Amino acid sequence: MARAKQTARSEARRRYRQAAAQPDDAGADLDVEDGRPAGGPAKASPRSGVRAAQAPAGRPGFMSAFRSSYHAPQVREDLAALPTLLLSRALLGAIGLTLLGAAVWVTVPNLEGSLYARDLLVIPGSALVPQLVAGFFAPRASYLLGLIVGLVQGVVVIVLVTQFGSRLGTPLGTDQIGSLLSLAFLQGPITSMLFSAAAAWYRRFLALSGPRRTASRGSSGRPAAKSNVSRRSTSR
């Protein structure tokens, strides 16, 4: 009788140990089915690799941004797009500044401000503010827009000097015609073209060397929403 009770007690203890060990075994089986051993490091999923590849790169170095900002001119494509570029805001704004400077210079020629308008907006080769506007905001072919602005400045200067020379105090002599034509249609347009191209390069350089702000934004380009934890902490 005593031996039977002892056997029953040992059998009950064995069953209790088996029942207590079943959750651990089930967890181990689940770990094996997931493809990783129990207690071992988890394998990287393909989605994590895609997220790592889509993560925004850091800001490039100074020399890298300096080199990447240069774009070789594509003359054929730029000439094909020229009819559209003639109506761009960059070119129209630059020509508008030139005409505005010419109007101020003719209207009040003796005013000191009109001389600044002449030197900054009208005179070919030295008035480079319109070229800065054309090159910095050009959608493409900044050198062509600069060339057009330089030619417009040359035509405006010739009209002003020949028609309003006495009013402006710049009468045109016979020996000065050659130098004026060279300034209006050779030196001025070349300088204008180079300066507009430099302005477009500087715009690209600023875009590449500036700090990236996409890290704090989601995939849709909008700022990431705050987590629920932060909302709860602020509401308390």
95 within 8 A of 121, measured Cβ to Cβ: no
| pLDDT surpassing 60 at residue 172 | yes
Residue located via tokens 């020229």: 82
| pLDDT surpassing 50 at residue 71 | yes
Say how far apart CA 163 and CA 150 lie, in whole Å.
Answer: 20
- Per-residue pLDDT band for 62 (boundaries 50, 70, 90) equals low
- pLDDT number for residue 12: 73
pTM over 0.85: no
Residues forming beta bridges with residue 223, ordered by sequence position: 217
Residue 88, phi-psi category: left (phi > 0), alpha (psi -120 to 50), beta (remainder): beta
pLDDT in tens, 83-127: 999 999 999 999 999 999 999 999 998 888 899 999 999 999 999
- pLDDT number for residue 218: 47
- Residue 60, both tokens: 């490039």
- pLDDT number for residue 60: 66
- Residue 193, both tokens: 């073209």
In the chain, what percentage of residues exceed pLDDT 70? 67
Average pLDDT score over the chain: 77
pLDDT in tens, 15-47: 777 776 655 444 444 444 444 444 445 455 555
Q: Is pLDDT larger for residue 191 or for residue 217? A: 191
- Per-residue pLDDT band for 73 (boundaries 50, 70, 90) equals confident
Q: What are the φ and ψ backbone dihedral angles of 160, each rounded to 5 degrees?
A: -70, -40
